[in-house]
Structure 1
Amino acid sequence: MSLALTDSVATLKGVGQKRQDALRELGIFTIEDLLTYYPFRYEDLGARLPSETLDGEKVTFKGIVSTPAIVRRYGKRSQTVLGLLIDRENIRVTFFNQPWVAKNIEVGQEVAVYGTYNAAKAALTAIKLVPASTNVLDPIYPATKSVKAKTIADLIEQAWGLFRGQLPNLVPSTLREKYRLLDKNQQVEWTHFPKDSAEAKAGRRSAAFEEFFIFQMRLQLLKQADQSFGGQPLQYQQAAVDQLIQALPYQLTAAQDRVVGEILADQAAPRHMNRLLQGDVGSGKTVVASIAMYAAVTAGCQAAMMAPTEILAQQHAKSLAKLFDQAGIDLRVELLTSGLKASQRRQILADLEAGEIDIVVGTHALVQDDVFFHHLGLAVIDEQHRFGVKQRSKLREGGMNPDILAMTATPIPRTLSITAYGEMEVSIIDELPAGRKQIITSQLSERQFDQALALVKAELAKGAQAYVVTPLIEESETLDVRNVTEVYQSLQADLPDYTVGLLHGRLPKEDKDTLMQGFKENQIQVLVATTVVEVGVDVPNASIMLILDADRFGLAQLHQLRGRVGRGDRQSYTVLVADPKTEYGKERLNALVETTDGFELAQKDLELRGAGDILGTKQSGMPEFQVGDPVKDLTMLTIAQQEALALVRQSGWDQEEDNQALVAYLSQTMAQFRHFD
């Protein structure tokens, strides 16, 4: 029976149902999956002398067995001890729970042993005997309790014996030549069975590029499919849009002006828009979105804006209505949330379907089954990563297939924008509005809390307001951190002349909304809160953000919290109170003190925390790459993106002989490819 690369691993010897299930947990379904399941590191089995080896280092010693192997047993456990003569030095070698070693060696025999060296005792805690035929580097594979790394290595060796030289090249020959990449078969052989570190490095380099390139090809094809999804050009009225821009109470920044141009060009084009608008907190994304929505309205369409919370939806609806009113533009903006009375909701739904509402702002209530638009031309989604693909596609299923403009205040470093948002066009507002004052950030220790409180009192005395943020709601026996209830009670005593509010995630929604509204209207001067204020209402009068136990927060989260202040004319401050115990904690807080640039901080966060955890795996949509590291290999990732884009733009690229293996592979896998979100 002839086997194919697409056959199940169950066709290999030694793979029963239990082992097949275990391999599936590692993403290994087919023989091809197995052959491209690469090691994550290598153990150096090259022999060295004890004098060249550091204490505690893993090493291979080669020498002559100088004493008989003695096995000592302790119940079910055992110790096998022997002497190894290496260049006139005798080393004591101990194997734990490997009594069979004694049967395989004898005095006078030359052996190689891999283990951990104890320099003080001139002893080696042995891990394994190294056969003479073994390569210098031993590949180590990601494994689980259900399937050991050695089992994976044995299965790969078996599969390679069956398919050596038969793997198709997915990376076109032009790119392999251009970037000095290995042929696929050589790539697989050198990655799994390297003779030395140079082969292992070359194999992994080629495998990483292939991984990035295939991923980018899929994203480019997704983007093409999205743009061909029946997009309609919006014939907006340029004069009316210009009138709105001129009527704004401030001039657009150069960055806002550039981004508006990019979005309007997309709206006028005969293809579907799928654009991500990135901008730091306070950079003016909402006014850009309002211009885009008004453009859709002048084209005879409706616009919708989705926000992650009701309070944010309310804020957007009010600010939009005010903006158009001040500009002398007569259009109808309505709010649609789950908190509406049934009669109000029915009326808004009817008016929305009849086309009497120009712009609707809401939460997930906008994507319910009973919501119908008359002609939806643009959907703006605030805080993009908080909505899934299904919720975004639900807007399209209304039959209108509107343009999509997603917005996020979470600065996304280039690595993530290339991967997690690679199928979207990206616009960046990298400039704050004129006159906006930089937020002064400082760090104090717990012993200096009184200084932080004095700064809060000084700002309150000027008529400003303050946020005080803490990580926990109630006392914890395991974490020595201030809890929000304790801080609230303490500040009530310390600030008797001011109203102090308490806000946390366990409060009923109505209470949260009431508190935030009270804070916005300055009925509450100090808001003690957990991170529920991270994405909150705009309170221009708030000038100080005091964050307790700041080392307990992520860097991106701290930057988001800092963005709650500095929204008005007042000089604003963020004070981080913490005694970080680790270098990571210290670096994080130092980075926040040194810069207010969200994109710079996001890149720093990526370097400190690693790609998979930058926004939280589920939120960021960061794909997991097995070989390539999108942080360390950013240049390679960028090149892979550029080459994939260049290839799909070539007319008839999928008909060329050199690309047929790639086309076949993409056809097989695109159906299973998950749209990261």
Structure 2
Amino acid sequence: MSIYSPGDSVSSVKGVGPALEEKLHRLGIYTVGDLLRHFPRNYLDFSKQIKIKDLRDKTPGSFLATVNNPKTFYSASGKLITQSVAQDSSGKITLTWFNNPYIKRLIKDGASYSIAGKPSFFGKGLTLISPMIEEGDSFTLNTRGLVPVYPQTEGINSRWLRKKIYELLQNIDLHDPVDAITLDERALLPLQQALYRIHFPTENKERWSADKRLAYNEHLRINIQNRLEMDKLGHSLPVKIIAKIDIKTSHLLPFTLTSDQLKTIHHLEKDLKSGEFTHRLIQGETGSGKTAPLFFAANQALASGYSGAILAPTEILATQHFHTFLKYSLFPKQVKLVTSSNKVSLTTEPTLFIGTHAILSQLPSNLNPPLAFVAIDEQHKFGVAQREILMNRSPLPHLFNLSATPIPRTVALGLLGDISISNIHHKPNLRIPVKTFVITPTKYKNSPKWLISEMEKGNQIFVVCPNISEHIHDVSSVEKMTSEYRRFLPKKYPIWTIHGKLTPETQQQILFQFKNTPGSVLISTSLIEVGIDIPTANIMVIHSAERFGLAQLHQLRGRVGRGKEQGYCFLVPTNDDEIETERLQLLQKYHNGMVLAQKDLRLRGAGQIYGEKQHGSLQTRLKYFWSKKLFLKAKSDALNLILQNRQKAQKIASGLVSW
């Protein structure tokens, strides 16, 4: 009998109260379906149980043994310790639990148990600390076979997740959106069987067959939605590419174009010429010259009698772009700045509009001449809804995204072939990579002496917080950090604050003062993420770093180390959440924006392909999600379904979302 449905709130699961529900929300789990889709990140291989004598220090192992009655005592520090001895025909090992008085009730003296854990040296010899233990003759979830290890958070561990997911699978009857004929042709498991095997495989073969089926679901859904969306969007304007325009544009440039820039210009002009809508990502590190190819695209569009639009996340960056394009445009009188404080007057002349999100409200959907392209600089700063408003035009403008660290959804579509990618690998000035450290708030409190010593040398410090004021408990704010830094820094060191509520003129004035004051601190929101170049600022401290995406953190880190000196970036999370700490540590290891975006994609997911949510929806932890071969098979199946019956195809796609 089915008790649960995929759409039921996770609070309906037995044993999940308000406190646990809130913790599950941290993992992106809101419904029963979300919990079933919370796939393992890896597995502990306990498929072969060993003897006690074969256990090794710090190597996970599983064995069958009899256990004697546990004894409890207190350590010198007052910690409750419970210990028991497990024994098999080869030897003995001590089992130890800290502050767990309930374990005594679970163990029967002399009974046989299946036990698993990672041995380590504690006291006089090898011991298992907080081992998993289950009755030896019962069905086991934690100590035998391939045991799933899940992304977890404080208060929700893998043992709890195993138990709840197993209970759900015993009490749910899932409708499979994919018909039996397709499953047979593609050699795929039924949905419910695949779910059971991904969570509780008895061998690797079962795990991979389940992985393949669940990845196929993702690919089929992506392709149906993508095709239906593309059919709705329609065609783009064909732009006539004139060789003389490129030659004249090149003569305006004070630098020689790199081979990557020349390739990207060719890509953009091919897109513009085709008349078929193109979504292209131009990826390159800060200062690599991502903007240069747009000079050519803009001049070609204006020469053909069409308009173009370039969006920047802040007025500061929009203004910088405006002045840059004025210099390199063949039609400077047709370049206009559009911001909330600078309204644009529309004419029938082809125009290059450069601005902030104010462009969305100031340019009508029936603009004349229409837009040949829309370029979005630092795409992660714009929401899905904002991009869709801009793209809701006929004819449809080409979409060019510029980013050092593209959002995970774009990376996913690029890797699977549904977004074109142009890479600009050239790095500016051979800068020294910024040294990055993830440190706890406690450790950071010991850093003032070092910070002061750096400021004595004239170095400047950026301090970044997610909020202006403290409206979320424990999350750092500009106001809170300003008080804290004023408390521990000597008064001779100036502290400036900047955020989005200040007028653009005030922001510019503060940045000018900071730039020209050696040994000073600027405390800010993520406003300084783009368009700021202060070579003497070599230290970046980001508080509540887990509140930022990797794209933002990589951009913020790019604000320091822009001169000749070594740059430092300190990521200070609010707490020790395992998932977030692992994500932040990626910045310690990698300095390439595209690599970081791909790692973030595998760790956090790509979000909805068409919708508001940008994280956690696509199952990128699945190995077969990255199979181009499976993706192309699903693409073929999606096209056939749409040709046969569009409404049925849409229903299948919806079913693949809601199971």
Could you state the TM-score of these two structures normalised by the residue count of structure 2? 0.68
Aligned to 2:592: 598
- CA separation of 1:43 and 1:649: change in aligned 2, threshold 3 A: closer
The alpha carbon displacement at 1:384 in A equals 0.6
1:543 equivalent in structure 2: 535
**Offset, 1:230:** 1.5
Partner of 1:230: 234
The answer to whether structure 1 residue 470 and structure 2 residue 472 are counterparts is no
Matched, 1:629 2:616: no
Report the equivalent of 1:137.
145
Partner of 1:156: 169
Listed one character per residue, the Cα deviations across residues 478-510 of structure 1 (whole Å, up to 9, x for unaligned) are 99x99668589979947xxxxx78343276234
Question: For the residues of structure 1 that align with 2:133 and 2:185, how far apart are their CA atoms?
Answer: 43
Matches within 5 A, 1:634-649: 636-638=624-626, 640-645=627-632, 648=635
Distance 1:428 1:487, change over 3 A: farther
**CA gap 1:70/1:206 in 2 versus in 1, 3 angstroms:** same
Distance in 2, Cα, partners of 1:665 & 1:34: 26
2:306 and 2:350 in contact (8 A); partners too: no
Secondary structure of the 2:402 match is strand
Counterpart-to-counterpart distance in 1, 2:313 and 2:65 = 67
Q: Is the 8 A contact 1:306 1:366 kept in 2?
A: yes
Paired with 2:571 and 2:226, the residues of 1 have a C-alpha distance of 46
The aligned residue for residue 390 of structure 1 is 385
1:377 positional shift:
2.0
Within-5 A mapping of 1:489-500: 493=492
Report SS of the residue matched to 1:440.
coil
The aligned residue for residue 323 of structure 2 is 318
1:397-452 deviation per Cα after TM superposition (whole angstroms, max 9, x unaligned)? 344422111111326799944579964222211124xxx52223576997666874
Q: Which amino acid aligns with 1:112?
A: Y
Cα drift, residue 290 of structure 1 = 2.5
Stretches of structure 1 that go unaligned for 5 or more consecutive residues are 72-78, 457-465, 495-499
Q: Distance in 1 between matches of 2:268 and 2:169?
A: 50
Q: 2 CA distance for matches of 1:483 and 1:163?
A: 52
Which AA in structure 2 matches 1:204? R
Match of 1:334 among 333, 336, 347: 336
Q: Give the counterpart of 1:267 among 254, 265, 272.
A: 272
Is the Cα–Cα contact under 8 Å of residues 528 and 556 in structure 2 kept in the other structure? Answer: yes
Taking the aligned partners of 1:610 and 1:647, their CA distance within structure 2 comes to 20
Q: Is the 8 A contact 1:580 1:586 kept in 2?
A: no
Cα separation, partners in 2 of 1:614 and 1:558, compared to 1, 3 Å: farther
- Residues 546 and 131 (structure 1), Cα distance of their counterparts in 2 relative to 1, 3 Å cut: same
The alignment of Structure 1 onto Structure 2 pairs a total of residues equal to 593
Q: Which residue pairs with 1:304 in the alignment?
A: 309
The AA in structure 1 aligned to 2:238 is L
Task: Provide the rounded CA distance (Å) in 2 between the counterparts of 1:101 and 1:508.
Answer: 61
CA–CA separation in structure 2 for the residues paired with 1:605 and 1:452: 32
Instruction: Note closer, same or farther for the CA distance 1:590–1:145 as it changes in structure 2 (3 Å cut).
Output: closer
Q: 1:117-516 counterparts in 2 under 5 A?
A: 127-131=133-137, 136-137=144-145, 149-157=162-170, 168=180, 173=185, 187=194, 190-191=197-198, 194-195=201-202, 199=203, 201-228=204-231, 229-238=233-242, 239-324=244-329, 327=330, 329-340=331-342, 345=343, 348=344, 351-352=345-346, 354-356=347-349, 358-368=351-361, 371-372=364-365, 373-374=367-368, 375-410=370-405, 416-418=411-413, 423-432=418-427, 436-440=428-432, 452=454, 456=458, 468-471=461-464, 486=485, 493=492, 502-505=496-499, 508-510=502-504, 512-515=506-509
| Distance in structure 2 (CA, Å) of the matches to 1:492 and 1:100 | 60
Question: Does the alignment pair 1:529 with 2:522?
Answer: yes
Task: Give 1:298's aligned amino acid.
Answer: A
Partner SS state of residue 313, structure 1: helix
Match of 2:564 in 1: 572
Conservation of the 8 A alpha-carbon contact between 2:45 and 2:146 = yes
**Structure 1 CA distance for aligned equivalents of residues 129 and 457 of structure 2:** 61
Q: What residue in structure 1 maps to residue 52 of structure 2? A: 50
Shift of 1:42: 5.8
| 1:18-167 → structure 2 map (5 Å cutoff) | 18-19=12-13, 26=29, 41=43, 44=46, 48-53=50-55, 62=64, 86-87=88-89, 97=102, 111-114=112-115, 127-131=133-137, 136-137=144-145, 149-157=162-170
Kindly provide the amino acid, as one letter, of the partner of residue 50 in structure 1.
I
Shift of 1:254: 0.7
What's the CA shift string for 1:223-281, capped at 9, x where partnerless? 44454421133233413244223332222211011011111111111311211211111
Amino acid at match of 1:641: K
1:263-313 deviation line (CA, Å, top 9, x unaligned)? 111111131121121111111122222321222222221111111111111
Q: TM-score when scaled to structure 1?
A: 0.67
Q: Which range is displaced more, 543-552 or 247-256?
A: 543-552
User: What code does the residue aligned with 2:348 have?
Assistant: G
Aligned twin of 1:461: none
SS at match of 1:284: coil
Where structure 2 has 5 or more consecutive residues not aligned to the other structure, the ranges are 73-80, 437-446
**Does structure 1 retain, via aligned residues, the 8 Å contact 2:414–2:421?**
no
| Alpha-carbon distance in structure 2 between the residues aligned to 1:644 and 1:418 | 11
Amino acid at match of 1:214: N
Give the match's secondary structure for 1:250: coil
CA contact (8 A) 1:501 1:524 kept: no
Give yes or no for contact 2:311–2:377 (8 Å, CA) kept in 1: yes
Percent identity for Structure 1 against Structure 2: 19
Tell me if structure 2 keeps the 8 A contact 1:187–1:206: yes
CA distance in 1, matches of 2:453, 2:71: 68
Shift of 1:610: 6.8
> Aligned AA for 1:356?
E
Cα distance change, pair 614–443 in 1 and its aligned pair in 2 (3 A): farther
